[in-house]
Amino acid sequence: MSEIEPYRTLEQRYLLQSKWRSFRQDRVDIGNGRVIDYSYAEVPRAVFVVPLTQDGRVVLIRQYRYPVRDWVLEVPAGSLETPAEDPAATARRELQEEVGGECQELIHLARFYSSSAHLNLDSEIFLATGVRLGKAQLEETELIQLLILPAREALKLAQQGQISEGQSAYALLLAAPHILAREKDDWVK
């Protein structure tokens, strides 16, 4: 199987265009003389950060997401300000803004697509260790709330399929072996 781009974009058409979310419907030559319309959403690259505090807790964010009309538990996440931004810098900024925290170490765990048939979202997952909780710039409101759980409890939620945001659940499951390897008797029984 060839690694060459098998599709050729004949025309790129925007139905909506903005910095944070655009909708495209392209004319695409998919080979053998076949031409189709392919529609998808275009969004900036993003980071997902699992924040592990110095005393072995994980910080999650509970918020309301309009597209699914539901409340979801997530890890701190955010978009790169520009395509050239270093994702590690984005991760540190999100940690600062959403958790009010700084970390000792930022460990890169994976790069992934969230839903590659519908969306071009292309993200990095980090584990932030030694997080010191500060004053979040994010105002806790009825629509957003920090949840600080013992690490094992957060991992258990993910392992049982109870974190309904798949991106965050995946980040927690990837971080699990790293978190468990760091366990200290003084913070996790």
Which residues form the interface with its own copies (CB under 8 A)? 1-3, 5-7, 15-16, 18, 21, 23, 25-26, 28, 30-31, 38-43, 62, 64-72, 109-123, 125, 142-143, 145, 159, 161-167, 169-170, 173-174, 177
Least gap, CB of 28 to its own copies (angstroms): 6
Provide the residue type at 45 as one letter: R
Least gap, CB of 129 to its own copies (angstroms): 17
Cβ closest to its own copies, residue 66 vs residue 86: 66
Q: Long-range contacts of range 95-98, CB-CB < 8 Å, 24 or more positions apart?
A: 95/49, 95/51, 95/128, 95/131, 96/134, 96/137, 97/136, 97/137, 97/138, 98/61, 98/136, 98/137, 98/138
Distance CA 189, CA 153 (A): 11
Determine which helix (DSSP H) or strand (DSSP E) holds 116, and give its type and residue range. none
Q: Are the beta carbons of 108 and 96 closer than 8 angstroms?
A: no
Least gap, CB of 165 to its own copies (angstroms): 6
Least gap, CB of 97 to its own copies (angstroms): 16
Cβ closest to its own copies, residue 43 vs residue 103: 43
Cβ closest to its own copies, residue 48 vs residue 57: 48
Cβ closest to its own copies, residue 21 vs residue 132: 21
Provide the residue type at 86 as one letter: D
Least gap, CB of 58 to its own copies (angstroms): 17
Q: Are the beta carbons of 99 and 133 closer than 8 angstroms?
A: yes
Least gap, CB of 133 to its own copies (angstroms): 20
Distance CA 150, CA 186 (A): 12
Beta partners for residue 57, in sequence order: 150
Cβ closest to its own copies, residue 14 vs residue 105: 14
Cβ closest to its own copies, residue 6 vs residue 134: 6
